[in-house]
A = this chain, B = another copy of it.
Amino acid sequence: MQLELSVDRSSPVPLYFQLSQQLEAAIEHGTLTPGSLLGNEIELAARLGLSRPTVRQAIQSLVDKGLLVRRRGVGTQVVHSQVKRPLELSSLYDDLEAAGQRPATKVLVNTVEPASAEVAAALGVAEDSDVHRVERLRLAHGEPMAYLCNFLPPGLIALDTDQLETTGLYRLMRAAGITLHSARQSIGARSATAPEAKRLAEQAGAPLLTMQRVTFDDTGRAVEYGTHTYRPTRYSFEFQLLVRT
């Protein structure tokens, strides 16, 4: 069966992007089955009236996503194993929403305070300089799921408590025009202290999953530092990752 592909040269969408989207949709949809060969690049370019570099660019973007594999002398194949979700800078809010869990957020603290040494080091600001402190409890189905404590440098975004209760922090930052670039994360575990246990409706000493994260924008500024604790019976970190080549 012949795959239907076409590009619209009058569209402002780049040609390689149009092609990669169509290929991705065909893979997602099962029209291109795992293991099937894509056909050689020259022929594909001729069929679409594109140059080979343009077709290569489209294919390369899907190789980078892990959907296709290229073998010299063989061809380009659709990967067998379905790549579900590449690891991304995930927002717990988005994660829960995607899982259909209707997340709720309760803002416990939303204030400005002097930075501790730890916070100052993480955000790259002077010690005792003002930073925002936000503490939130994230619930799903009315059950506490995670306790989130975040610090932000001043003047970055307006931290409105109502907004914080209806969406995630990353969405607020993106909406404010901040381009997130990278994050440094650390995931661990430890026993709950008495106040932690109380907040999360666990028993003191219960195991907790912990995550610390510093997020940077594309200018290299630290835009957020967070220390989070999760109830491991309710949440775990799941992700797919690709091998660097």
Is A199 an interface residue, CB under 8 A from the partner? no
Do the beta carbons of B190 and A207 come within 8 Å of each other? yes
Q: Are B187 and A241 in contact (CB under 8 A)?
A: no
Q: Is A243 an interface residue (CB 8 A)?
A: yes
- Whether A220 and B183, one on each chain, are in contact in the complex, defined by CB atoms closer than 8 angstroms, is no
B-side contacts of A191, CB under 8 Å: 206-207
Chain A stretch 169-199: residues in CB contact (< 8 A) with chain B:
180-191
- In the complex the two chains form, is A181's CB within 8 Å of B220's CB? no
Q: Which of B205, B220, B222, B243 contacts A180 (CB 8 A)?
A: B243
> What residue in chain B is nearest A64 (Cβ atoms)?
B64
Using known A-B contacts A189-B209, A244-B88, determine if residue A66 contacts B237 with beta carbons closer than 8 Å: no
Is the CB–CB distance between B81 and A241 below 8 Å? Answer: no
6 A-B pairs with CB atoms under 8 Å apart are: A66-B182, A79-B182, A80-B221, A89-B243, A185-B241, A186-B237
Q: Is the CB of B216 within 8 A of A189?
A: no
Residue of A186, A236, A240, A244 contacting most chain B CB atoms (<10 Å): A236
The answer to whether the Cβ of A14 comes within 8 Å of any Cβ in the partner chain is no
Chain A interface residue count, CB cutoff 8 Å, equals 50
Q: How far is the CB of A45 from chain B (nearest CB, A)?
A: 16
Q: Chain A: residues with CB nearer than 8 A to chain B?
A: 34-35, 53, 64, 66, 69, 79-81, 83-84, 86-89, 180-191, 205-209, 216, 218-222, 232-233, 235-244
Q: Which residue of B lies closest to A66 (CB)?
A: B182
Interface centre among A182, A208, A242 (most CB of B within 10 A): A182
Give CA–CA (A240, B218) in the complex, Å: 14
Q: Which of B35, B87, B189, B218 contacts A241 (CB 8 A)?
A: B87
Query: Measured between C-beta atoms, what is the minimum distance from A244 to chain B in Å?
Result: 5
Q: Which of B34, B182, B187, B238 contacts A237 (CB 8 A)?
A: B187
Q: How far is the CA of A233 from the CA of B66 in the complex (A)?
A: 34
Give the docked Cα–Cα distance between A189 and B229 (Å): 11
Compute how far the CA of A190 lies from the CA of B190 in the bound complex, rounded to whole angstroms. Answer: 9
